[in-house]
């Protein structure tokens, strides 16, 4: 594997193995909060001009149809379906209608199958139980509507609970990770249990986190951190490039989602090979103050299922700070 990676010229060509077989591109384009017009051009540019092959979507983002229009264009211009890796997500209100929700996403995207389908949050707005939702996710694999299934924003305790009744492996856990939130407890647990960890909000941007004060913890932007800015200036790179390079060095077999709709930023995000961070540089980024950006507090309710942040992320996890 190491020898093969030496010949890779672009980060877009890096792939990591998945537990059930197959691979996942290590750099994906995020589409959360991307406007309907902007997202079409971003996906088109990312795939055709930069070589990005992983597109991360979700029904709740409200732009699946526009992503689908862009995919139709790139597939008509020489990119084959098996070169692409498309992730979709099941929203909270759809736990009782998993197959219908997945088929609707496929219609919006103009695809026959998804490479990866995730339960977006462990928060069904009605019955069934999460174990039943997972059983329905497994049926999607049998129906060949999806190639792999996984979870997003689950604690390791909630994943363990699902594993008690699961008949198919949980291939991926997608969760927040960047230098301001290493999420190392969950990363280590996933590695130990053969589950691929994929980092979202890899650039730690507030703009990727949604409505301020609802899901976002607040505080300074990672990209404005003076230590990160000084490191980027020293290397002659953007702070976003440094964040991506950090993610790739810290977890050579991991993957990450970086959201941008600007062509220049998408192009720069792909320029993360051929240079590296020193051990001292990595130490700086591994020791920044820790805080979760996406708290999930907007999902809390006195009626349940989660009344407090500690309930959502589980009491043994350091959800506010992390050593």
Both tokens of 305, joined, read 């299922």
Q: Tell me, yes or no, if 180 is annotated catalytic.
A: no
Q: How far is CA 318 from CA 4, 119, 175, in A?
A: 38, 23, 15
Q: d(Cα 215, Cα 8) in Å, to the nearest integer?
A: 38
Q: d(Cα 292, Cα 183) in Å, to the nearest integer?
A: 8
Q: d(Cα 27, Cα 244) in Å, to the nearest integer?
A: 9
Bridge-based pairing of strands 146-152 and 172-176 is parallel
Q: Which runs of consecutive H residues, i.e. helices, occur in the chain?
A: 2-6, 36-48, 64-75, 98-109, 130-142, 156-163, 184-192, 226-235, 239-250, 263-269, 279-286, 309-313
Q: d(Cα 8, Cα 114) in Å, to the nearest integer?
A: 26
Residues serving a catalytic function are: 61
């Amino acid at each position: 594997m190491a020898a093969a990676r030496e010949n890779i010229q672009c980060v877009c060509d890096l792939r990591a193995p998945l537990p059930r077989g197959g691979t996942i591109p290590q750099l994906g384009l995020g589409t959360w909060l991307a406007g309907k017009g902007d997202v079409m051009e971003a996906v088109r540019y990312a795939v055709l001009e930069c070589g990005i092959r992983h597109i991360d979507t979700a029904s709740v983002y409200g732009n699946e149809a526009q992503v689908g229009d862009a995919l139709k264009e790139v597939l008509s211009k020489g990119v084959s379906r098996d070169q692409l890796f498309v992730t979709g997500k099941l929203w909270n209100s759809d736990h009782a209608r998993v197959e219908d929700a997945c088929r609707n996403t496929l219609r919006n995207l103009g695809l026959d199958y998804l490479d990866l389908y995730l339960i977006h949050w462990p928060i069904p707005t009605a019955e069934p139980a999460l174990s039943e939702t997972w059983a329905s996710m497994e049926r999607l694999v049998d129906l060949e509507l999806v190639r792999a299934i996984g979870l997003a924003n689950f604690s390791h305790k909630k994943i363990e609970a699902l594993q008690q009744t699961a008949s198919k492996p949980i291939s991926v856990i997608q969760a927040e990770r960047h230098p301001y939130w290493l999420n190392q407890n969950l990363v280590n647990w996933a590695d130990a249990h053969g589950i691929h960890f994929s980092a979202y909000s890899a650039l730690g941007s507030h703009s990727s986190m949604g409505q301020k004060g609802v899901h976002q913890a607040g505080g300074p932007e990672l990209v404005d951190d003076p230590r990160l800015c000084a490191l980027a200036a020293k290397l002659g790179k953007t702070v976003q490039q440094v964040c991506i390079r950090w993610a790739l060095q810290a977890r050579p077999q991991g993957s990450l989602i970086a959201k941008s709709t600007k062509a220049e930023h998408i192009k720069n995000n792909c320029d993360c090979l051929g240079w590296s961070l020193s051990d001292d540089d990595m130490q700086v980024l591994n020791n920044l103050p820790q805080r979760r950006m996406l708290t999930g507090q907007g999902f809390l309710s006195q009626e349940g299922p989660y009344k407090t942040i500690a309930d959502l992320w589980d009491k043994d996890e350091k959800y506010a700070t992390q050593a």
